Amino acid sequence: MGNPTWWPYPIPPNVAFRKSLVVVAGVFVGAAIINSIYQPFKGYEEELEKGKTELLRKYKAKHEDRIRQGYQSIDK
């Protein structure tokens, strides 16, 4: 059985589909293993949380300074 006329590749479409599924499954399994063992985002999430609290303190202080100085809201 030859390849369909619309198929430009030397391997049959069903073989290409199966190989593509194996590659995609491998990527998902590999990503899950790396994420569970290596946990690359753990330090990033802690740093991000720390940065959020620092930014909140910074902008809250700026807001309070502006209120003390008598700035009007932009919405008004």
pLDDT digits (tens, 9 = 90+) for 17-75: 999 999 999 999 999 998 888 887 788 888 888 888 888 899 999 888 888 888 665 55
* pLDDT > 60? residue 76: no
Q: Compute the distance between CA of residue 3 and CA of residue 17 in angstroms, rounded to an integer.
A: 14
* pLDDT tens-digit readout, 35-46: 888 887 788 888
- Cα 13 to Cα 5: distance, rounded to the nearest angstrom: 11
